Amino acid sequence: MKPVLIIQTGRAPDPIRGRHGDFPHWFRISTRLAFHRLRTVNVSAGESLPAPREVAGAIITGSAAMVTERAEWSERTAGWIRHAMETEVPLFGVCYGHQLMAHALGGRVDYLPGGREIGTQPIELLHEARRDELTSSLPASFRVHTTHEQSVIEPPKSAIVLARSQRDPHQLLRYGVKAISTQFHPEFNAEVMRDYVRRKHADIRREGADPRSIYKAVAATPIARGLLRHFSRIHGWVDVLD
């Protein structure tokens, strides 16, 4: 059985990693896939990706890096994404992974106008989401966790925008039948989100927002968290633990 690939594009900050583990661990918990179904490749550390045909699908993680830096490992991963799309491998990109997928497929990524978006935010599903297999049964609005400075400014021409937040009009994108990406973090739980807000306290205040109110507003996001598991089921990533 082919593994599900976690393409790791960075590491959680040391204090957060010490308390909660690293990105691959969060995705394993939120997908509820068994250990033996997963293979992690840390592309930001120079590890090589397998051919797309050798995997059942891939999840592309977040990162503290910026897509606009055009790092060699990042551009190499963008090429892999294009190849995976050609071979119709299921892909789910998150935050940096969301932006990298959009960049790889012809969109434009840059800094989010107005500065960073961080904390638990409501997002609104758009009309197109009612016809999408992943989102058709979801409520019109639900909470998500966000922390990002860059965003997809212009989606690829072939992409379908499924959801937006007040600050970011491209929170959820569909690229063909088997590929999706989210600017928000479905793999975060509330404690991880609080730790990110706590860590960015000074930056948030310097940018004119109130970190205490953002911290207090953090809440569970069960609908967003369920997206990864639903995607896993749709695309036959079997051995999901109940």
Q: Which of 54, 148, 187, 191 is catalytic?
A: 187
Q: How many helices (H) and strands (E) does the chain have?
A: 8, 11
- Amino acid identity, residue 34? A
- Amino acid identity, residue 58? A
Q: Which of 95, 103, 117, 145 is catalytic?
A: 95
Which residues, 6 or more positions from 207, have their beta carbon under 8 angstroms from its beta carbon? 115, 116
The span from the CA of 37 to the CA of 4, in Å, is 6
Q: Is 170 a known active-site residue?
A: no
The span from the CA of 115 to the CA of 112, in Å, is 6
Q: Is 187 a known active-site residue?
A: yes
Q: If you compute the radius of gyration of the chain from its CA atoms, what whole number of angstroms results?
A: 17
Q: Is 230 a known active-site residue?
A: no
Q: Which of 98, 148, 170, 185 is catalytic?
A: 185
Burial class of residue 131 in the structure, from the number of CB atoms within 10 Å of its CB (0-12 exposed, 13-18 middle, 19+ buried): exposed
Nearest to 59 by CA among 150, 179, 154, 145: 179
Nearest to 59 by CA among 84, 87, 36, 86: 84
State the catalytic residues: 95, 185, 187
